[in-house]
């Protein structure tokens, strides 16, 4: 089944400039901005500018240029946040929620980059 992209989702509206965002990085194919409800001192969302619902959709349908740009942007945001372990940072976690079980709230691909505090183990058994 093909993905249907909702043009009215909040990140599409951010990309159209209809609502503001706190930009950390913008490249040809990618935008990174601060999450409005941060879960840690550093909490940035990285999104492709193209209409992709989630990571597997992006993997299937995006061009090589978009994919390289996106992945490089993720690394650059880590550098800008100062969280890269190889450069003296304390580390970070990347999360990309998808669909019902992944508890995805906004249906436009985004990865969360979270850092600035100890994050605990990746998953608990709750609820």
* Residue positions annotated with a catalytic role: 110
C-alpha distances in Å from residue 12, one per residue of 53, 88, 91, 122: 11, 35, 29, 29
Kindly tell me which residue out of 25, 55, 84, 97 binds ligand AMP, with binding defined by CB under 6 A: 97
Q: What is the DSSP string of 55-83?
A: HHHHHHHS-HHHHHHHHHHHHHHHHHHT-
Q: Does 87 bind ligand AMP (CB under 6 A)?
A: no
Q: Does 10 bind ligand AMP (CB under 6 A)?
A: yes
Distance CA 74, CA 72 (A): 5
Q: Among the candidate windows 60-68, 72-80, 82-90, 104-112, which touches ligand AMP by CB under 6 A?
A: 104-112
Distance CA 81, CA 57 (A): 27
Q: Among the candidate windows 1-9, 24-32, 34-42, 72-80, which touches ligand AMP by CB under 6 A?
A: 34-42
Token pair 């990865």 in the structure block, residue: 111
Kindly tell me which residue out of 8, 37, 101, 126 binds ligand AMP, with binding defined by CB under 6 A: 37
Kindly tell me which residue out of 87, 105, 122, 125 binds ligand AMP, with binding defined by CB under 6 A: 105
When the beta carbons of 87 and 105 are compared against ligand AMP, the nearer one is: 105
The upper half-sphere exposure of residue 122, i.e. CA atoms within 13 Å in the direction of its Cβ, equals 5
Residues near ligand AMP, by CB under 6 A: 10, 19, 21, 33, 35-37, 45, 97, 103-106
């Amino acid at each position: 089944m093909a993905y249907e992209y909702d043009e009215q989702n909040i990140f599409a509206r951010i990309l159209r400039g209809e609502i503001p965002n706190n930009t950390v990085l913008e490249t040809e194919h990618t935008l990174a901005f601060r999450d409005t409800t941060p879960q840690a001192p550093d909490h940035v969302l990285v999104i492709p500018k193209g209409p992709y619902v989630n990571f597997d959709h992006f993997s299937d349908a995006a061009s090589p240029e978009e994919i390289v740009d996106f992945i490089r942007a993720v690394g650059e945001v880590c550098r800008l946040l100062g969280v890269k372990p190889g450069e003296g940072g304390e580390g970070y976690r990347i999360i990309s929620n998808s669909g019902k079980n992944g508890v995805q709230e906004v249906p436009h691909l985004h990865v969360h980059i979270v850092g600035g505090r100890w994050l605990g183990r990746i998953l608990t058994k709750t609820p």
